[in-house]
Amino acid sequence: MHKRRNMLKYMGAGLVLSAGLAMPAISQAADMPGVTDTEIKLGNIAPYSGPASAYSTIAKTISAYFDKVNEEGGINGRKINFLSYDDGYSPPKAVEQARKLVESDEVLLIFQSLGTPSNSAIEKYMNMKKVPQLLVATGATKFGNPKEAPWTMGWQPNYQSEGIIYGRWITSEMPDAKIAVMYQNDDFGKDVLAGLKAGLGDKAGSMIVAEASYEVAEPVVDSQVVKLKASGADVFINIATPKFAAQAIKKAHEIGWEATQIVANVSTSVAAVLTPAGLDASTGVISTGYLKDMQDPQWADDPAKKDWEAFMDKYYPDGNKASNFTVYGYSVAQTMVHILTQAGDDLTRENVLKQAASMKDVTLPLFLPGMAMNTSETDYFPIEQMQLMKFNGERWENFGEVISGEVGG
């Protein structure tokens, strides 16, 4: 009997405790959640575990960059408290973590939550709660829709923009091209394809002579490549994720298809795509980029590269300097710092969102020269420009002008 009463007591205590935890902290100003005179609380959701855990490098880089910012005095005297939680790339878990960040940790905003599924899962919640979901880590075009979801904004060039850029380049450089497209049958593949058609404009119907899609579940894409070659196309657009992109480049080389090959930006890793496909087979492949490739010797003496290296050595010594993710994380963290600095002392959610949606020609040190971020209340795509690049057998070389791929523009 005695025992039972004790247990009740503990349970009661536990409940009271948890209720207390869930109560909002009273000390902060009511209209600036997550902000005190000395601190700004930012939330983040990243896959530290599970199938996509390689991407967690981005969040780790961001965290390291905020350490640097804090050590240098913070933003207008406020230190950034970066709360990053694991969702294992699982949408239900992402919802749980987002609710934890918003309701229990009371963050100012959620920044760089990663993955199309996870961001789709929390988008409605964030907009209902009117908490900014800024600079999300996915290129899906749907995360730039100020009418339906005014609190959600992307960062990296969206997939449609990328497609538009390929389309525009082809119409200006090879107006008589016969194009064959292979695409992954999901939102990513369809987004890029839609952009490509928009970029080609009226001639899309006549220029694209063949299309073939594949499912992520398929083991190989050889038959698609063979079928596309048979169409007699002289441009092969390879909208695939790394494994399939590598297979397609290899197969096209094996069957002696002498076409101009374009591969999507997600599959430009030399280590993960071009090397397995064969460096020989990959020579001459074209893609797009927006960040400086730190392996590229042309940036060897670039002061921005030296800053980045100093940052990596001091704050993220375990990080892989050869990984694009660290360049990405560094740059996106700088964008966040820019937005918060712009907001000044008025760190309400409304004002931070307003600052995010009023970037004018903001450039970052690791952007390719000539690139800038622009947003407005009706344009929620910060980066819409890219530069083409060609693989020379060792590394990517940028060529041509920076091309704009503004959606609907």
Q: Nearer Cβ to other proteins, position 7 or 29?
A: 7
CB of 122 vs other proteins, minimal distance in Å: 8
Closest CB to other proteins among residues 34, 289: 34
Q: How far is the CB of 11 from other proteins (least distance, A)?
A: 6
CB 172 to other proteins: min, Å = 33
3-state secondary structure of 231: coil
Nearest distance from C-beta of residue 120 to other proteins, angstroms: 6
Nearer to other proteins, 4 or 360 (CB): 4
- Helix/strand/coil percentages in the chain, nearest 5: 45, 20, 35
- CB-count exposure of residue 91 (10 Å: 0-12, 13-18, 19+): middle
Q: What single string gives the DSSP state of each residue in 292-352?
A: --TT-GGGTT-HHHHHHHHHHHHH-TTS-TT-HHHHHHHHHHHHHHHHHHHHTT---HHHH
Who's near 403: CB < 8 A, 6+ residues apart? 165, 168, 169, 385, 386, 387, 388
Tell me how far apart the alpha carbons of residues 5 and 10 are, in angstroms, rounded to a whole number: 9
Least spacing, CB of residue 142 vs other proteins, in Å: 8
Residue 227 vs 305, nearer CB to other proteins: 227
Degrees, nearest 5: CA angle 152-126-351: 60
**Residue with Cβ nearer other proteins (186 or 296):** 186
Catalog residues that contact other proteins under the rule CB under 8 A: 4, 8, 11, 15-16, 18-19, 21-23, 48-51, 84-86, 88-92, 95-96, 99-100, 103-104, 116-117, 120-125, 142, 185-187, 215-217
- Dist. CA 122–CA 148, nearest whole Å: 14
Identify whether the C-beta of residue 129 lies closer than 8 Å to the C-beta of residue 139.
no
**Least distance CB 107 / other proteins (angstroms):** 12
Name the residue nearer to other proteins (CB basis): 121 or 366. 121
Structure letter (DSSP) for residue 75 = B
Q: How far is the CB of 171 from other proteins (least distance, A)?
A: 29
Q: Which is nearer to other proteins, 167 or 195 (CB)?
A: 195
